[in-house]
Amino acid sequence: MRIAFFVNSIEGEASYFTTTSLAIAAMARGHDICYVTPDGFVLRTDDSLSVRAIIQGGGRPKNADALIATRNE
């Protein structure tokens, strides 16, 4: 399952944030994760909503600091 986490900014995430802990736990259970930020939402002219997600790559980090490091590359 892919789980999306809504965050204010990718760069502003810290290793002690709840979203980071949840992301690590989800990946440890085999889920794929992605991040969605406020600027990723686009309302199109036909009133449909499009959302751009940032997909976490770089394998499965074992701790929050490793997750933060791969996100900021």
Domain chopping of the chain, boundaries = 2-71
pLDDT of the chain, 73 residues: tens digit per residue: 999 999 998 888 888 999 999 998 998 898 989 999 999 999 999 999 999 998 876 667 777 777 777 765 5
Q: Please state the separation of Cα 46 from the chain's center in Å.
A: 27
**How would you classify residue 6: left for phi > 0, otherwise alpha for psi between -120 and 50, otherwise beta?**
beta
DSSP annotation string for the chain = -EEEEE-S-STT--TTSHHHHHHHHHHHTT-EEEEEEEEEEEE-TTS-EEEEEEEP-SS--SSHHHHHHHHT-
Q: What's the pLDDT score for residue 40?
A: 93
Q: Is the pTM of this model over 0.85?
A: no
